[in-house]
Amino acid sequence: MPHSNISIFIPHVGCPHMCAFCNQRTISGEQDIPRAEDVIRICSQALNEVSDLNNSEIAFFGGSFTAIEREYMLELLEAAHEFVGAGKFKGIRISTRPDYIDGEILDILRHYGVTAIELGAQSMRNHVLKANERGHTAEDVYRASELIKKRGFELGLQIMTGLYRSKYADDLKTMYRVIKIAPSTVRIYPTVILKGTKLAELYDEGLYKPISFERMIELCARMLEEFDANNIRVIRCGLHSSDNIKGSKVGGFYHPAFKELCESEIFRRKIETEILKSNLNKTVWECVKSRFKPYVIAVNPLSISKAVGHKKCNSEYFGNSVRFVADEKLSKYECELRG
């Protein structure tokens, strides 16, 4: 069931780590640090604005929630718990690092009504985690994930693609390992190179050479399909647009409609396959050119705009020789040639 989160951004105050891609150090001091009264104000405001509160969560995002100073973490949890305890929200969602999860912290989170925990795994390849100075290993992700699931929390994993020293095959390996862990949700963040980070230095020195944007779309499209096929909900693909990115991006993979581009790619490939299936020994172009009426492609009704493509890119790609019809029996990324 669709739901909306009441998001509260927590900058990672005094984070002792130095991840190669993170600019928290350079922007700390520019960010507002929410206190209990801010949590109360934001939640009270949401009570008036959001219609389906019983299906909404209070989400503490932006940093490593369980790694912030304990007293401050409890202050925020207590404020949020007032609302969850009174049955006004479904629960609390937090994101954190895998090496800041243990039995004690999970007991605290449970006590305050936390229901979902997202871990910043970033990669499941130790050489990549090391090169990007994450300060934890893939084993930490396995251990924390198991503990979270065992205690009955909803598990989410966040991964980054195209990190320094992560080849296409490393990102795929990360995907397969994440599928094996079987979280409920995944967020895919293609790496964006931000000013003031170690990645930016490596990029300037020519030591970090990201793959092409097209190849990244192809990789993330494949991930969307694989996660979907394994019943893992992808709740984000591509970084959110924010002033922080606009002012400090020096390279990498940012596009405001990144997920739409990936979904367009999924359907473009599938439509090509469908067209070629019925025209052996021809190229797609020969098929499209020699056709007097449009190909009829059936997709799930909710996927028609994805099949048409971002800014109609697929319709244009096929020279407007494809017409889409809805068939609710088809799954999210399925398509079939119907004539």
Interaction between residue 56 and ligand SF4 (CB under 6 A): no
Interaction between residue 22 and ligand SF4 (CB under 6 A): yes
Interaction between residue 313 and ligand SF4 (CB under 6 A): no
Find the part of the chain contacting ligand SF4 (CB under 6 A) among 19-27, 46-54, 182-190, 316-324.
19-27
Closer Cβ to ligand SF4, 18 or 40, answer by number: 18
- Compute the least distance from the CB of residue 138 to ligand SF4, in Å: 16
Closest CA to 307 of 285, 325, 281: 325
- Compute the least distance from the CB of residue 31 to ligand SF4, in Å: 11
Q: Show the 3-state SS of the chain.
A: CCCCEEEEECCCCCCCCCCCCCCHHHHCCCCCCCCHHHHHHHHHHHHHHCCCHHHCEEEEECCCHHHCCHHHHHHHHHHHHHHHHCCCCCEEEEEECHHHCCHHHHHHHHHCCEEEEEEEEECCCHHHHHHCCCCCCHHHHHHHHHHHHHCCCEEEEEEEECCCCCCHHHHHHHHHHHHHHCCCEEEEEECEEECCCHHHHHHHCCCCCCCCHHHHHHHHHHHHHHHHHCCCEEEEECCCCCHHHHHHEEEECCCCCHHHHHHHHHHHHHHHHHHHHCCCCCCHHHHHHCCCCCEEEEECHHHHHHHHCHHHHHHHHCCCCEEEEECCCCCCCCEEECC
- Compute the least distance from the CB of residue 137 to ligand SF4, in Å: 14
Interaction between residue 24 and ligand SF4 (CB under 6 A): yes
Convert residues 67-106 into a mask of x (bound to ligand SF4 by CB under 6 A) and - (unbound): ------------------------------x---------
- Compute the least distance from the CB of residue 22 to ligand SF4, in Å: 3
Find the part of the chain contacting ligand SF4 (CB under 6 A) among 17-25, 69-77, 85-93, 320-328.
17-25
Closer Cβ to ligand SF4, 91 or 251, answer by number: 251
Closest CA to 17 of 32, 8, 28: 28
Interaction between residue 19 and ligand SF4 (CB under 6 A): yes
Closer Cβ to ligand SF4, 121 or 261, answer by number: 121
Answer for which of 5, 12, 197, 264 binds ligand SF4 (CB under 6 A) is 12
Interaction between residue 15 and ligand SF4 (CB under 6 A): yes
Interaction between residue 130 and ligand SF4 (CB under 6 A): no
Interaction between residue 238 and ligand SF4 (CB under 6 A): no
Interaction between residue 158 and ligand SF4 (CB under 6 A): no
Binding site for ligand SF4 (CB under 6 A): 12, 15, 17-19, 22, 24, 63-64, 97
